[in-house]
Structure 1
Amino acid sequence: MEVRIVSVGDAAQLSRFYKENEEHLRAWEPRRDSGYHTVEAWEHRLKQCSSTKHDNSSVHFVLTESDCDEIMAICTLTNIVKGSFMACNMGYAVARKYEGKGFMKILCQKALDYAFKELSLNRVMANYMPSNHRSAKLLKSLGFTKEGEAKRYLRINGCWEDHVLTSLLNPGNT
Structure 2
Amino acid sequence: MRLDSERVYIRRLEMDDLEALLDLRVRNRYFFKTFESVTSDSHFTLEGQQEILEKVQHNWETDSGYAFGIFLTQQDRLIGRVNLSNVVRGAWESCTMGYFLDEHYNGQGFTTEAVRLAIGFAFGPAELHRVQAAVMPRNVGSIRVLEKAGFRYDGFSEFYLKINGVWEDHNLYSITRERWNS
Unaligned runs of 5+ in 1: none
Q: Is the 8 A contact 2:79 2:101 kept in 1?
A: yes
Shift of 1:66: 3.7
- Residue 65 of structure 1: how far off its partner (Å): 2.8
Residue aligning to 2:13:
6
Gaps of 5+ in 2: 1-7
CA distance in 2 between counterparts of 1:53 and 1:22 reads 26
Give the residue type in structure 1 aligned to 2:176. Answer: L
Partner of 1:110: 117
> What is the aligned partner in structure 2 of residue 139 from structure 1?
146
4+ residue runs of structure 1 moved beyond 3 angstroms? 51-54, 66-70
Q: Deviations over 1:71-118 (max 9, x none)?
A: 212100000111111000000011111001110011111110000001
What TM-score comes out, normalization by structure 2 length? 0.88
Deviation at 1:52, TM superposition (A): 9.2
Q: Does 1:120 align with 2:138?
A: no
The count of corresponding residues between Structure 1 and Structure 2 is 173
Following the alignment from structure 2 to structure 1, what is the Cα–Cα distance between the partners of residues 106 and 179? 31
Alpha-carbon spacing, 1:119–1:172, altered in 2? closer, same or farther (3 Å): farther
Deviation at 1:31?
Answer: 3.0
Match of 1:84 among 91, 96, 100: 91
User: Alignment identity in percent?
Assistant: 28
Residues 93, 53 of structure 1: alpha-carbon distance in 2 compared, 3 angstrom cutoff: closer
2 CA distance for matches of 1:46 and 1:161? 27
Aligned equivalents of 2:48, 2:140: Cα separation in 1: 31
Deviations 1:145-169 (A, max 9, x none): 1111110000101111000011000
**Shift in Å at residue 51 of structure 1?**
4.5
